Amino acid sequence: MIPSLITPIEVQSQLAQRFKMLRLSAGYKRSTLSKRAGVSESSLKRFENSGEISLRNLLRLTHSIGHLQDFNSLFQLPDATSLAELKENIEKKTPKRGRF
């Protein structure tokens, strides 16, 4: 595994910046989008300024601007060529209780 050169804080900041650009390009004011998503305006403002937000609120906001499907590409499982290979991959990654 190659270590990442980007930190979680940097990812937070980049997500917040990209989200704000999407919100503005969709023509939403913070107040309008927060009501539409069921998220407080202060939570939206905090997210855009600091990157801090709960996952649930982030999903609500992205759904409200039509980008919820963007999360489907996160944590993709590798493609298996056969059922046996898929079972093998699962067994490799499932730790056995009390064994090292």
7-33 as b/e, with b when 16 or more CB fall inside 10 Å?
eeeeeeeeebeebeebbeeeebebeeb
Is 65 buried (19+), middle (13-18) or exposed (0-12) by CB count in 10 A? Answer: middle
Q: Tell me how far CA of residue 55 lies from CA of 78, 93, 96, in angstroms.
A: 24, 25, 30
Taking the model in full, what pTM does it have? Answer: 0.72
Kindly report, residue by residue over 13-62, the tens digit of the pLDDT.
Answer: 999 999 999 999 999 999 999 999 999 999 999 999 999 999 999 999 99
Residue type, 62: T
Structural domains of the chain sorted by starting position, each given as residue range(s) with its CATH number in brackets: 8-70 (1.10.260.40)
